[in-house]
Amino acid sequence: MELSLRTVREVMDVPADLRLGLVLERAARRDQRLAGTVCSLAAAEGHRLGRLGETLLDVERARQAEHDSIIELVRRAGRADVLKGAALQRYYPSGVLRTSRDVDVLMPDEGELWAAVATVTHARPVDEARVSMIVSGGRRHWGVALNWASPESDLDYVYAVEFLTAAFVGNSTTVPLRAKRPDNEKAAHLLLIAEELFQQPLRGRDVVDAAVLLDAMSAQDVRDLHRAAERWRLAPEVYEAVLRVNSVPGLVTKTSRLLAEELADAAEGERRRRSAVGPGDGAVATVHYGLPLGPALSSDRLAVEEDADMTVVRCPVGGFLMVDTLTVPTELAHAALERYPDAVLPV
């Protein structure tokens, strides 16, 4: 496998002679997220960076350093596995940067998750928090996202960390929530890339991530990935990701070709299974979104106050009215204000 500017052009499907500034412009788009990779490859290949290029690289390196600090901070509160993101940088060639906007951490222990949320909230100027509660198979799982402004520039992207008690949420219909991740780290990261296909097409960065993971795999890793793709019910998505890698001449390897051949039957079998399942098979997960009720309802420890009328979560980042729809019924919001006089609805 060769990770170069030529390869990145192939990933983004842009002409080989397209001016480098326009390549960077394309790489910075949401559907690519390859700006840091392009800048670092340009430096490695001897292109003139100038003040613009050096500044962009400094910003990427500063963000990576902050992400490492956040991970260290989170791990003081409990066991945390980094999902993709910073954990994938080690698989990139030396000197080549992976663009990452946030940090996702898996913390299966609910108490440790909320302790980590409190730790980060106290250590960073968090100005936005989102809380989701996912109920599946009679069990409750959490997703908590914290955002804060860049310490250097209002023009920079926000910094963010997301805490999860379940690694794989599924598609809410035919693929269930799966809380654990595979023991094999490379296989786990590839499955996480594949799972995102339930929400959106693969980005350019996802393709490069998959390629560097596949390139780093031993024969045992490949066997583990094949088994995990079937067990976690993601064979079609892993197959699609591998095919996407194989469509890029500079990324395809013997391993990726072999894996595509081996996964074809498993992918088809999983598609048949999904077509055959009906309602009530245990795959349905209900997502409850949190409407912020303000910091006055915060609690050092998690408190879920639930009755027939409403569910309110009180936690270190405030109170949240939980609803299973994307819009909040007006009468429910008013009822929450009556019950909690200190609550404040977002403007």
* pLDDT tens over the chain, length 347 residues: 999 999 999 999 999 999 999 999 999 999 999 999 999 999 999 999 999 999 999 999 999 999 999 999 999 999 999 999 999 999 999 999 999 999 999 999 999 999 999 999 999 999 999 999 999 888 999 999 999 999 888 889 999 999 999 999 999 889 999 999 999 999 999 999 999 999 999 999 999 999 999 999 999 999 999 999 999 999 999 999 999 999 999 999 999 999 999 999 999 999 999 999 865 565 678 999 999 999 999 999 999 999 999 999 999 999 999 999 888 999 999 999 999 999 999 97
Round to whole Å and give the CA distance between 25 and 9: 12
Answer yes or no: are the C-beta atoms of 38 and 64 closer than 8 Å.
Answer: no
Answer yes or no: are the C-beta atoms of 206 and 247 closer than 8 Å.
Answer: no
Residue 285: its pLDDT value, please? 84
Round to whole Å and give the CA distance between 140 and 285: 10
Alpha-carbon torsion (333, 336, 342, 343), positive or negative? negative
Round to whole Å and give the CA distance between 328 and 34: 37
- Neighbouring residues of 146: CB distance < 8 A, sequence distance ≥ 6: 117, 120, 121, 124, 126, 128, 129, 160, 161, 162, 163, 317
Residue 281: its pLDDT value, please? 60
Domains and CATH numbers, the chain: 49-166 (3.30.460), 169-283 (no CATH), 288-339 (no CATH)
Residue 284: its pLDDT value, please? 76
Q: Which amino acid is at 12?
A: M
Round to whole Å and give the CA distance between 32 and 29: 5
If we measure between CA atoms, which residue out of 248, 264, 236, 176 comes closest to residue 211? 248
Residue 347: its pLDDT value, please? 78
How big, in percent rounded to 5, are the helix, strand and coil portions of the chain?
45, 15, 35
